[in-house]
Structure 1
């Protein structure tokens, strides 16, 4: 009995430590008003005033740890190394959950999502049901305000790991923003080391037993059972929009561990390959086969780097992907 109690205590301590490790330590101080609620954001410059020097906005999306400030600092460092700090506004949205709100005694007006639902574009659990993708749309819309950003020429939406999963799915489902294009503002996407991708049909690089893995083609791995955000868009329309996006797939050459603790090992993800590097190549090959006429997309490997967002974005390849140089 005593041994059982000791084992139970150790197990509970382990669970507690794991939960603590996933707690958000820092809440981003910026706020963006969205439909009578607020999104927490980190900012490299004060966007409450006009920013006439800013020519590029970099929206950097955190991963499952919701550590927006960490990603903000990485993006700021990358901008500094590329000599682009003065002309780049970095924006790091923070998709909080209910535990974050309670632990930090945050106001009820702040948006929060259940678990990792924000990664798939699901609606927030409070104070209003707003898709995480709609929150990204709201940031993009704000950046189109020429009174605040008269010199803006491009918006780059980037993410690493879990954040890259968000960016890839957002590039697929995200709304069109014709006013931006008409006003000379270009949208680009940088997808770095995601665990998985959303495919357009049932084809996968690894054979799937649909009976053993019935949800392998459901969202967020395929286009079945799409979130409400995508209502009104057919699979064909989504694919045609996606292939026209300007996308860089940034893959670490050393991101090859099939047992990485943060790797998605669900059957739906395993059908895409054994580890992130090969999953990225498999998806890009899939795109090229389906669209042999050519894509406005490219795959770039980062030598000597594994699953490390900071090193990915501050590498020469990462800086070129983010800042075009």
Structure 2
């Protein structure tokens, strides 16, 4: 069942690397047009009504996030109708340190986080890779019962989801099938703004990249297709996006927090950066946006804590 989606390569399932590489290579391979995508996926329910695509952060620990998402689904009583898919965006370091076939897609450094192109075996934007996964799910012959697709990420994965929600290409087959897409952006270090306005004063002369992609709309990736910032914003505010923020994610010195001037201009720490961006959206679009902000009490920068919390469960699995 759904054989196109996952081919288990057991030899890779428990590969370990040192501190400079990914610790675990996901065991599955999803064939895309440009190569094979490493992917993790749990058992497929008999009737799949929801697909949760969970995006890892900079550690590229896709299996960790897959397990958290499956735990959240079970706690919410939704595991019987939810398929969890965890794509893994490997980079060139991983390819050097692990036995990885030449056909498996990999990116340079963290380029995948901003929609950059893979370096091998062929060039594809990380966002276009997500498009292809969603396109497969839209195939009614394979997934006749799917009603919604949820794309969620925490920390670095939250950055990916926010940028992907900005630029994601339309999927006519989903619209025709009545399948809804929702985006869950949890505790990212930064957001992409639509103009040069920022909530915190800073020295423009010393922070010349503050409005370059991925922090702003200058020098956007090829995937953006030449869209203007106003076109992108017009589509984005209509998309179903939830900003899921941990109330305790307030450490301005957190080791994984982006402390570059481009991010500091958005606020001192993740909780306030999320509120600042959401407030910015509301001010720019007084007619309303199809988006909401949800805080998770008692949780800081912890992906498992965020998604398995009562608030996280409600956001991920809301009908």
Compute the TM-score of the two structures, normalised by the length of structure 2.
0.93
**Which residue among 146, 149, 156 is the counterpart of 1:155?**
149
Q: Report the Cα offset of residue 20 of structure 1.
A: 3.0
Secondary structure at 2:18 match in 1: helix
Spell out, residue by residue over 1:168-204, the C-alpha distance to the aligned partner (whole angstroms, 9 max, x if none). Answer: 0000011111220121100000000000000000000
Out of 192-201 and 292-301, give the one that drifted further.
292-301
**Which residue among 61, 84, 88 is the counterpart of 2:82?**
88
Compute the TM-score of the two structures, normalised by the length of structure 1.
0.91
The separation in 2 between residues aligned to 1:36 and 1:276, in whole angstroms, is 35
The structure with the largest alpha-carbon Rg is 1
Name the residue aligned to 2:13.
Answer: none
Name the residue aligned to 1:322.
Answer: 316
Q: Aligned Cα RMSD in Å?
A: 1.2
- Say if 2:34 and 2:123, in contact at 8 Å, map to a contact too: no
- Say if 1:52 and 1:150, in contact at 8 Å, map to a contact too: no
Spell out, residue by residue over 1:55-96, the C-alpha distance to the aligned partner (whole angstroms, 9 max, x if none). Answer: 000000000000000000000000000111120010000000
Q: 1:28 to 1:206 in 2, by over 3 A?
A: same
- Say if 1:52 and 1:151, in contact at 8 Å, map to a contact too: no
Alignment map for 1:1-325 (pairs within 5 Å): 20-46=18-44, 53-324=47-318
The separation in 1 between residues aligned to 2:236 and 2:264, in whole angstroms, is 23
Out of 258-267 and 28-37, give the one that drifted further.
28-37
The separation in 2 between residues aligned to 1:154 and 1:210, in whole angstroms, is 42
Name the residue aligned to 1:11.
Answer: none
- Say if 1:22 and 1:65, in contact at 8 Å, map to a contact too: no
Secondary structure at 1:26 match in 2: coil
Name the residue aligned to 1:5.
Answer: none
Specify every segment of 5 or more residues in structure 2 that has no aligned partner in the other structure, as ranges. 1-16
* Greater fraction of residues in helix: 1
The separation in 2 between residues aligned to 1:56 and 1:35, in whole angstroms, is 24
The separation in 1 between residues aligned to 2:260 and 2:135, in whole angstroms, is 35
- Say if 2:249 and 2:301, in contact at 8 Å, map to a contact too: yes
The separation in 2 between residues aligned to 1:39 and 1:281, in whole angstroms, is 34
- Say if 2:106 and 2:120, in contact at 8 Å, map to a contact too: yes
Spell out, residue by residue over 1:140-182, the C-alpha distance to the aligned partner (whole angstroms, 9 max, x if none). Answer: 0010011111000000000000000000000001111122012
The separation in 1 between residues aligned to 2:216 and 2:54, in whole angstroms, is 24
Out of 225-234 and 73-82, give the one that drifted further.
225-234
Q: Report the Cα offset of residue 45 of structure 1.
A: 2.7
Secondary structure at 1:20 match in 2: coil
